[in-house]
Amino acid sequence: QVQLMEYGGDSVQTGESLTLSCKASVFTYSTYYMTWFRQAPGKEREGVAVIYPGGGITRYTNSLKGRLTMTQDSAKNEVYLQIDDLRPEDSAMYYCAAGTQLRLADVFRPGKYLYWGQGTQVTVSS
């Protein structure tokens, strides 16, 4: 059982940066794919960034590549998502998820993840 808790969401202005954090209740570094998803009202949940088990591979969704940086602190059981140059269309609830044994094609598919946090809200105003 993995419990996840996100924090760091905020209301910001266009162009600002924000770093979200996700704290896991167990050691996830070597076993779990740790992934950030986001969901805006009326839209599907979409995966935006993932760190593979062991921390050696990080992938980003193409539409946000260049504005995202995902990192991990294995000693703290935390992952982070820095979002730069925030835009109103980035407004969403951001979720952290943990999954295992994922294929490349599955890393951004919400249905493949067993453990989820409650989300943290990011609101970007122009």
Task: Quick: pLDDT tens for 20-50.
Answer: 999 999 988 899 999 999 999 999 999 999 9
DSSP letters along 16-75, please?
A: --EEEEEEESS--TTT-EEEEEEE-TTS--EEEEEE-TTS--EEE-GGGTTTEEEEEETT
pLDDT digits (tens, 9 = 90+) for 86-117: 999 999 999 999 999 999 999 999 999 999 99
Which of 15, 6, 3 shows the shortest CA–CA distance to 125?
15
Distances (CA, A) of 52 to 12, 46, 91, 108, 109: 29, 17, 26, 12, 14
